[in-house]
Structure 1
Amino acid sequence: MSSSNSNSDNGTAGLNLKTGPTNVGRDNDWLSYIVPSMQRKITKLNYDLIEECKRCKEDSVLSKAIRDDLESYCRDIRREIVKKMRNGCAPLFIACKRGSVPVAEYLVTVCEADIEQRGLYEVPEDHTFHFVTPLWCAVVSGKLPMVKYLIRIGCDINATSDSGSTPVRSACFMTHVEIVQYLVEAGADIKKPNINGGTCLINSVQSTHLCLYLINKGADVNAKDIQEKTALHYAIQEHRLETTKLLLEHGADPYVRSRYGDDALRTACIKGANQIFDYLKTHLEYSDERIAEAHELIGSTFLDEHNETRVAILHWRLAHHIRASHTPYLEKLPKVPLRKAYGNAVEFTTLEELDNIATDMDAMRIQSLLICERILGITHKDMLFRLTFRGASYADALQLQRCIDLWRLLLEVRVAHCSILHFDTCYAAQALVRLMVDLHKRKWNQPNGEMNPIVILDDVLPIFEDVFGVFSLMTDTIVEAQELLQVRPVFKKQQENFDRILKCVAHLIFLLNSTATTHEQKKLVFCSVRDLVRANVRSAFTCDTLLHLCVSRLNVIKSGYLNDENNLTIVFPNAKVIKLLVDCGMNVNAKNEAKSTPLHVAVQPYNYSNDIISLLLEHGADLDQPNKSDERPFNLIVSNPANTIPLMNFMNLKCLAATVISKYKIPYHNQIPKLLQDFVKQHEP
């Protein structure tokens, strides 16, 4: 029997399972010579190996059956078997996570497993996934013997995760002190931050012992991350008093400000770290004005975060006494402008005014917003969060106009200081528009098939002025935002936010049409919508016009603020909005990315309405224009059993001729006028 026949009996061609390829031309092609039956055996062996690795303990070894099977193959096949991954993990990666040094050692020495082959690791604390090396996996899993073995065989000690985090930095986050010490002694770089600038020291604020060790090893105590925060900021916001003391004793600068202008004292006030607040004001030098502001701010935090009215009043009283102890009185600066959202309220300046406020919870909440805006500024992220939270509280209490006022202020700030392409702006817009749409349409429950209205306290909401104000906010910069999306590179998140804003604008047009009652208001709506139509704004992904959106039932608004995503208010298709758009000059035959006109969208079964289709046809919608899928509205309408439209009333000879020319591919270029050539081209699939 020839050697080639012998190889064939083993399930290969030109391949010896013990020694590897014999007559294969290229080294990397030899696996393709394995017949399917042998490939299945190899796949099963990999599966069994992974399953055994998943069950192994720190002192486990691979079973004799698995080892015998592996060693029955040549080194190249063994290498391929241990290279294969399941659910993002190869056998060595799993063994490192389990901490089984004997298994890992066998895979590396006998099977030549790649010691740097990355896998997916899920961090149990926050359920995030990272693409990391076996060493990183062993470190975060807290397997010191495995870490020692991997370092000994030459693993890259500073290989980063997909977020730029080194093994030692991740060990600090997990507070694996012994592993941190071993890695540092082995040469790990404790000064290398992740992609967000987070350092080992920042990751260690939960442990004074670890912080002290890193500082003694040369960690920069004042190193900043991408938010310009130091380890001291993080120690304070996590209420770590002992770590705060340690960092200050070793040179941490308490006056360093973050990107939002927060130093140590302000951070303690924002986070309600009462013990750290007391320590800072006792051991550091601050002006009386700073101390007064700090008492006012921490009082607001205790009121807003913990509903501690007594503590809030106590701090505000202390602040007043500090201000009143000076001659003249230390004024509260800068002055917060009168705001409708705050009911035009002003801050208290006397104890009598404070006592009156103390009996009115709503007045105290407004005082808290006034204090925060004065001290933090209207654009501070914590200030905006408090506006969001306070508005939601008003909505829960059915004080809906108060909610609209606060969320409108929030949106004004977001638009002015970010962009409508920013996620936070989009999020705020969706919440406000969704609330106003729900209020206008009312909400209905259907228990046992019966329709029962949910009672809304104020039957006139939303008012036209609020709707128009939000519409203006959304549309004033929408053309500029669309132009920005043409600049490369384009970010998918910004495109998604733009499309969500465009849906909000469509719903606002619906609300404008519904809430405008006077002649002046209706004229204002018409002029504003006409200007928007002339701008030819389209969605980023599908190039839909507003008319495409307003004939589709899929045009809905979701909001993270309102927890009823399964009970979305549907207002489209809407004939009144469609009529307004076409009256304002919108092209009824405009095509989107799929070359579908609004009529293509309107005739879909889930959008079908004879009234709306008739409206589009009456304003010139073409029945025979094909889209990319060669679908024509005429065919979809005819096939719909609900159709009652006399379609021949909307057909003309020019349209029929163009359809025949395109259907039978009759040459027409340079044989008919240029205008007619363009018309015929529109009818081509």
Structure 2
Amino acid sequence: MASKGVVLIPSNKVRCRNLDPLRFVIKDIRHGNTEAVMKALNSSPELSGIFRARLMADRVPKGRSPLVTASQHNRIDLLHYILENYQANLEQETSTDIEGGHPVEGATPLWTASTLGHIDIVSDLIRRGANIEHTTDSRSSPLRGAAFDGHLDVVKYLIERGADIDKPNQVGQSPLTIAAAMKKEETVKYLLEKKANIHHKGHNGDTPLHVAVESGSSEITKLLVEAGAKNIPNDVGYTPAIMACCYGHQDIMNYLNSTFVLEQQELYDCYCLLVAKEVLSSDLSAALDWLLKAIEVRNAHPLISAELDKRPLEDIYDKMREPSTEAEARAILRNNMESFFLCAMYCERILGAIHPTTPFYIRISGDMALEESRHDKCMQLWLRSLQFDNAARMAYELQIIEDLLFSVRGFCSMLDAGYVPQIHQHFQWGVKEFKMAKESKISEVDVAYCLCRMLAVWFKVLEHSPENKSEERKRLDSAVETLVSLMEGKETPLLVACLHDITGAPKTNSAVTSVANAKLPLHSVVEVLIENGCPVNCEDLVGNFPLHLAVKLKEDSSLDCVKTLIEYGAHLDAVNHCNESALSLAKKKEGYRKNNQEIIDLLTLSLHRDLSLQCISAATIVKEGLSYVGVLPSFLISFVSEHDTDGLVTQESEEEGEGKLEEESSISTTDSSVNS
């Protein structure tokens, strides 16, 4: 076993100031303080020189572009001042948070102003020569950005000045497609008047009509149909009518059926999908109504029945068939598990593997089996859901996190019932989702949080499987190595393992609260991560060390994790950017958990026992305000700064500086050299 002590790090990982020299100017631009901006730039030739250079850069980090800041906050007067007094690159790119709060990389001033509907800034930038077709990294044009939020005045202005009306982004969404998806009815009307391509095909061959019915907008669906849109299948075989039923939009399906007169097989499939939506909503009366309609269509057309009868009966669904009589229908709907078995069967047959709805229903079927203590059946269904191609699920980021959390909760339930689940295949699935997270809106931190909890359950599995403990431990160790390797240079797994809650799901979600409150041996995960090279002293972006985070864990996990971190050399008196130590955070928890005093006593005793002269000296330097950057050796600068509260980051990031966009996540890997 590795030595339990200090984890040293490279000397270039030094906490030092990385503050933008223009930060106050940018702040004044953001708040529209023209006088303050003029005063700052006119009174300092050095600052003015930095400002000039910044304006000419091709790309700058998030929050550091004067032009994008002025465009984002609609500061037209400041934009005029800047452009009339300085030479500027109107095509400057940066990262900004606009669409749904997600970061947009490569945003220009014109794209930003267009997306936010700031027509005066849009017109001014175009008058000065801004490129009307300059796209973001995801190939979103200013017109597409304006159509996203339905800024009709900007859409009209851009089209009148020659913007490409059908220019798609990287997933094939044209301005008409995105306006239809976002239910921007007036924008859709205008784009149709201007002859936008109503048959434009995007991702999976989806037309504007496909996305309109998916969004549930009856008005836009009618607009598109009246303009010539057809109920034709996309590249994976889904018609708009099938899509409407997949999302439970009955009124749209009825309209499409009355307009296009659906073929009987398609009508039968539509009714089946509506059954699934009603079962999910627990409206069994409505589910029965749609199921009886489906049976009526089936029995009226022998070819449909003949094809269904040819399908093999599968053990995984207890050899169920799609019902052909009212008695069969009523019997199935009286049984919760069989109801979801039927829904999963419908989705597999109609939607296939690529649609996210299919693995969703298969997984719920597994949950129903778990409720009936059919643990083998549950595992079979869960594993079946993993076998499907889940690439399309990347648009359903919350569902993925929930699936991971439900797995953890389900494994805990199985172990409590004496059943030992196989973890490794689900862990591999989580690893796959982590690798794909960058291509979607999923937080890598949230996926890693789930993987750490899965590792904790895995340690419980070891306790319940003595006959093959050695083999299972090898699998677990391999999984830990995979996780550490995946997150190298990203958020350190140790910080994530000590998080008390997930960031990407509602706190009211039952899976989130169940996993957060579960009695899991997280301290074993903490220990094995440290043994695999994760530094015990590292920070997130607000200066929290693993020890800070461990103190915030639920009572069943907090004490053991704190003990483990201290045993491995956690820096006891390090403060975060709010000047809080782990001990001060623990004291805030007084009265909220049973063993809180035990944690406080442990931290207090450890501080008295282990506090070194080095720590006392560092605290004195900070308290007296003595200068130490550039005076002390680099590893001591790092150590002293852990007692400081100035919100510091790595020298390495200072060196990368202007050329690297800031990371989305709230966790960073600033390792620290410690000798407490």
Q: What's 1:384 paired with?
A: 359
Deviation for aligned residue 1:471:
5.1
Q: Which one of 468, 472, 482 corresponds to residue 539 of structure 1?
A: 482
- What corresponds to 1:80 in structure 2? 51
Question: What is the match of residue 250 of structure 2?
Answer: 274
Q: 1:83 to 1:435 in 2, by over 3 A?
A: same
In structure 1, give the amino acid aligned to 2:246.
I
Larger radius of gyration: 1
Does 1:409 find its partner at 2:381?
yes
Looking at structure 1, the residues matched to 186 and 424 of structure 2 have their Cα atoms a distance apart, in angstroms, of 56
1:193-219 CA deviation, whole Å, 9 max, x = no partner? 222222111111123443343345453
2:199 equivalent to 1:226: no
Aligned to 1:299: 275
- 2-side partners of 1:170 and 1:499: how far apart? 33
Give the SS at the match of 2:484.
coil
- List gaps (5 residues or longer) in structure 2: 1-18, 436-441, 488-495, 506-510, 537-559, 568-605, 610-676
Change (3 A) 1:94 1:331: same
Tell me the amino acid that sits aligned with residue 224 of structure 1.
K
CA RMSD after TM alignment? 5.1
Q: Does 1:211 align with 2:188?
A: yes
**For residue 191 of structure 2, what is the amino acid of its counterpart?**
L
Aligned counterpart in structure 2 of residue 54 of structure 1, from 24, 31, 39: 31
SS in 1 for 2:97: strand
Distance change in 2, residues 1:66/1:566 (3 Å): closer
- For residue 86 of structure 1, report the CA deviation from its aligned partner: 9.9
For the residue of structure 2 that corresponds to 1:541, the secondary structure is helix
* In structure 2, C-alpha distance between the alignment counterparts of 1:106 and 1:234, rounded to whole Å: 43
The alpha-carbon distance between structure 1 residues 89 and 371, as it changes in their structure 2 partners (threshold 3 A), is same
For 1:174, the aligned partner's letter is D
In structure 1, how many angstroms separate the alpha carbons of the residues matched to 2:72 and 2:512?
Answer: 41
Q: CA–CA distance in 2 between the matches of 1:374 and 1:86?
A: 48
Q: CA deviation at 1:235?
A: 0.3
Give the distance between the partners of 1:162 and 1:70, measured in 2 at CA. 32
The aligned runs of 1:423-572 (5 Å cut-off) are 428=403, 431-440=406-415, 461-464=417-420, 467=421, 470=422, 473=425, 504=454, 507-508=457-458, 510-511=460-461, 514=464, 522=467, 525=468, 529=472, 538-539=481-482, 541=484, 561-571=511-521
Which residue of the partner structure matches residue 329 of structure 2? 354
How far residue 174 of structure 1 moved from its aligned partner, in angstroms, is 1.1
Deviations 1:320-350 (A, max 9, x none): 112222357724626363345x455443221
Structure 1 residues 124, 307: closer, same or farther in 2, change over 3 A?
same
272-281 or 69-78: bigger deviation: 69-78
Whole-Å Cα distance in 1 between the matches of residues 25 and 447 of structure 2? 46
Higher relative contact order (CA 8 A, sep 6+): 2
Residue type of the partner of 1:410?
Answer: W
Alignment correspondent of 2:79: 104
Q: Which amino acid aligns with 1:80?
A: F
Which amino acid letter does the alignment assign opposite residue 101 of structure 1? I
Where does the alignment leave 5 or more consecutive residues of structure 1 unmatched?
Answer: 1-39, 57-61, 442-460, 486-491, 517-521, 545-552, 579-587, 597-602, 611-638, 643-685
3-state DSSP of counterpart to 1:401: coil
Aligned partners of 2:353 and 2:389 also within 8 Å: no
CA–CA separation in structure 2 for the residues paired with 1:429 and 1:123: 28
Whether the 8 Å contact between 1:410 and 1:428 is mirrored in structure 2 is no
Query: 1:166, 1:536 → 2: CA distance?
Result: 42
Q: Is the 8 A contact 1:93 1:134 kept in 2?
A: yes
Contact residue 172 and residue 204 of structure 1 kept, 8 A:
yes
| 3-state SS, counterpart of residue 482 of structure 2 | coil
Change (3 A) 1:100 1:416: closer
Using a 3 Å threshold, how does the CA distance of structure 1 residues 290 and 50 change in structure 2: closer, same or farther? closer
| Partners of 1:299 and 1:543 in 2: CA distance | 41
- Greater mean deviation of Cα atoms: 211-220 or 188-197: 211-220
Question: Does the CA-based 8 Å contact 2:96-2:107 persist in structure 1?
Answer: yes
| 1:601-639 deviations in Å (ceiling 9; x for gaps) | xx99944999xxxxxxxxxxxxxxxxxxxxxxxxxxxx9
Change in 2 beyond 3 A, CA 1:255/1:436: same
Q: Is residue 165 of structure 2 the alignment partner of residue 194 of structure 1?
A: no
| SS of 2:175 mapped into structure 1 | coil
Q: After alignment, is 426-435 or 270-279 more displaced?
A: 426-435
Q: Aligned equivalents of 2:344 and 2:123: distance in 1?
A: 54
Shift in alpha-carbon separation, 1:556–1:513, aligned structure 2, 3 A? farther
Does structure 2 retain, via aligned residues, the 8 Å contact 1:503–1:556?
no
Confirm or deny: 8 A CA contact 1:387 1:407 kept in the other structure.
no
Change (3 A) 1:428 1:49: closer
Alpha-carbon separation, structure 1, partners of 2:561 and 2:263: 69
Give the distance between the partners of 2:302 and 2:61, measured in 1 at CA: 74
Judge conservation of contact 2:176–2:208 (CA < 8 Å) in 1.
Answer: yes
Deviates more, 1:493-502 or 1:237-246: 493-502
The structural deviation recorded for 1:127 is 5.4
Matched-pair identity in %: 21
**Once the two structures are superposed, what CA deviation does each residue of 1:657-680 show, in whole Å capped at 9, x if it has no partner?**
xxxxxxxxxxxxxxxxxxxxxxxx
Correspondence for 2:224: 247
Check whether the contact 1:208–1:242 (CA below 8 A) recurs between aligned residues.
Answer: yes
Q: What is the aligned counterpart of 1:116 among 80, 91, 98?
A: 91
Q: How does 1:527-676 map to 2 (within 5 A)?
A: 529=472, 538-539=481-482, 541=484, 561-571=511-521, 592=532, 606-607=563-564
Take 1:392 and 1:562, find their aligned partners in 2: how far apart are those partners?
A: 16
Flag the structure with higher helix content: 2
Greater shift, 217-226 or 529-538, is seen at: 529-538
Equivalence for 1:164: 139
Residue 294 to residue 82, structure 1, CA distance change in 2 (3 Å): same
